[in-house]
Structure 1
Amino acid sequence: LVLKASAPLIDNRGKIIGVLYGAVLLNNNFEIVDRVKEIVYKGEKYQGIDIGTATIFLYDLRVSTNVLEANGRRAIGTRVSREVRQAVLIEGQSWVDRAFVVRDWYITAYDPICNIEGQIIGILYVGMLERPYIDLRNKVMMTFAGMAGLSAIILLIILFSITSSIIHPVKSLAEATKRIANGDLNHKVVIPYRDEIGELAQSFNQMTENLKKANQKLLQWGKTLEKRVEERTRELKEAQDSLIQSAKLASLGKMAAGVAHEINNPLTSILLNTHLLLESLEPDDPRRESLEMIAEETTRCASIVKGLLEFARQSPPKKRKTDINSLLLNTVKLLENQAAFQNIEIKKNLAPDLPPLELDSNKVKQVFWNMMINAAEAMPRGGTLAITTRLSTDKNDKKHVEIIFSDTGIGIPKENIPKLFDPFFTTKVSGTGLGLAVSYGIIKQHKGNIQVESQVGRGSTFIISLPVEKEDRRQGGSHE
């Protein structure tokens, strides 16, 4: 195996006048492999054996190596194993694994040596003696095993000593606990010790006495308190849910306003310049399709920004007396001829003589609009949208007008219902998740509420409840 090199000879005029050619025979030349061992492994030995070795193979035959045979001679002329020969010489892959080299196990790496034409003509090998690591592993394992065994013995001795001194008092306390749990509140624990266990026994007896007194009071108040707690818990949960939702809307509103203002101007600039570029292009220009896509997506982003701004503003409602049925009919009239409602039958069941409500008609119309649009999107193949109004009275004898939107669409999974009014929550591909959040905020501004009932595959019902102010409880309204 020969390592060759050549370089051109150039005169002072830059002309090539010859070639300088040199070669080094690697067979029985140990300078390279010994230099590798010295640099990488620094001549370290373990039990008289070199930790690291290096070898150069001519095809599968060792021609230069510092791997020693049992007699101390270099293992020149020995061959590589069958597995390494197959992987490196035949398949041309590197081979890294533990291997038995001449007389010891090594952690080895073999890489093919190729000539200038890319043909594999040999192998370069480096290896580290495995025995130091095996011995260290065994030593560490024996040390840990000894420490674990000794620790276990010490712990058993300590545990036996401690449990012997407390097991009897603990048994007495356990027995007393069982008797008290069975209702024997007159039982006392007798433990003669004055240590912590004795103090525990005294506290236990005092606790039993207190339980006996408290039990009599609890029995008297139990039934009444249970009913009160249930009612109060329900009220607190409703109040807490409302506060959490309001806080989320307020926080996200501030964030949304900032984000919307920051990105609105760049979007407007992108959209304007895109349309200008489209006007300057020929109809068959290959760039037109990409620009149209940019314009479409920018327009969609602009609508999202618009929704963010609407969500963020939450301006106070400008209330005036409004006939809720007339407001509904106007909204239906605007929507029922749109394409999304062509296959949808709208049924109106509006209660007559509903009292007029103090509300911001534009804001509430936006809520009705969102409800109807969502219902249409839930019925892509058509269906029925039923709109109902009615007067109801809650448990506190307060009157409310309820507006009910019921569709026969795909329904809403049960786990999604609590998240419907969260900003940015949507299950639609093109939705922003702001419509219901904005609607929820508007209804809350009017001191109302929205409830949702839904079954997957059967449809959904949204119930909007708006309070009737005392001065507005009078006859009026239109019906159909």
Structure 2
Amino acid sequence: MNEGRDKAWRPGIRSSIFLWVFAATVVPLTLLVLVVTAWSERQHLAQVDRQMQAGLDYLTSELERRLTFERDVIEALAVSPALQRFAAVLGEVEDGDEGRLDELRRRREALASFLEEFQAVFLDVGTIRVLDRDANTLIKVRFGSRMSERVSGIKPYEYAESEAVDDFFSGEIRDLPPGKVSYVLLPPSRNDYGFRGQAPMLDAIVPLQDGFGEVVGYLMVNSSGVQIDRILELSPRFYHARLLVAEINPDLPERDGMLLYDEGSSLNFSTAHDGGRRLADVAPTLYARVLEEGNGAMDDPADQWRYYYNEFLPYPDQLISWILVMQVPEGEISAPFRRIRLGILLFAAVALVLGLALANLGARRLGNPVVELTQNLRAFAAGRPLKPMRPVRIRELRDLQLAFEDMARTTREAERERDQAERMLLQSAKLASLGELAAGVGHELNNPLNNIKGLLSLMRRELKAHPELLKDLGAIEEETDRASRIVRGVLDFARQRPPRYQSIDLPQLIDES
């Protein structure tokens, strides 16, 4: 049983010290730091969310300010004197007064020159069109230059583009409120990209009225997107974020989810879009989320991005929205805390090494005296000589050494006293045996001595006539008495009688001896 317990593993002093120190300091401290780090990371993520959402709100307000400014400019352009004079003459011609055609041509030239100058000032204006009431283009100015093409049609005046054949578009613009900016999507035959791409933005259109309030034509303006791109490019980026802008247009599937701006692919508002890049393809989880809620944040474990998104309505008269998305790598947000966790691991490793070193040092200071004491205990148990132990400075261990030395010394003294008592007991036993032997011998000797004394008494009566013989008998009697006293002393010693004290004549005792 004891051998089985001795073979069982038990931690040594070094392991115990290390485990105690590690469990008492490193483990709780590491757990505390990890808990604080996790809490700080959550707080940091909440702060980042607020910061990113504030950045999107600011960007939304800047875009709203810019588009509002453009609408104000277009509305002002629609009521400008040059355009109003042209609209008045156009209305007369539309009503059948062909005598005003020359005036219409002069007014058209003047208006085209005015629009060229206007574009030179407002660089974000891409293409300006002036349409008649049937959506035929009368004036087209692009990048500060008028289109000189002249196309004949059924009307008495010439067109700047081919005659409109899209009845749906013509019917759509007839229902627009006059005097207000509305937004429409030009058919491929009319937009600046033709059939090779999608326009990033809808065109602004304002119905033109004559002096009688009748709609005689339309002013159409599309944005070049340069200023929109500049606003997006200059918007602050935190944590190496990438900006995406996508159009959400459920009524027009070919444009729904189309990316309008993407830093990752150099896609912007000032270039044509093929319509092939969709938010549903780039981030399907995000696309599903923005259809449910317009603002928020989400993680996409599939691509290791965190998305911050904000819905913006660029066109007041359309149920079309832009989704502004800040795409942040998850590693950028958690980078400081990865470094903190790495520092914690390094701290734990250093603490482990220091703990082992301290455990080794403590084991030597504690273990060596304990080993010496253990060896002396085993030597003491086996009866071997004890080795001198080196004094230690640790009070408890020193007290243990002194207690062991006192115990060993006391035990040795007790053993000596026990041995001495055993010897005395043995001597007493021997004396008792000797007393018994002496008693037996005394009894055996006492009988002959008594017989001798009896015979001496008889011989003294018989030899009264021989004085010289009586003298010899007296000497024999004295020796017999002396032998009797010796035998009596031996018997008294054997019986362990209490001593009897009496006065003696020392000179006589010496003479008798």
**Structure ID, larger Rg:** 2
State the TM-score, normalized to the length of structure 1. 0.29
Q: Structure 1 or 2: larger strand share? A: 1
Higher relative contact order (CA 8 A, sep 6+): 2
TM-score by length of 2: 0.27
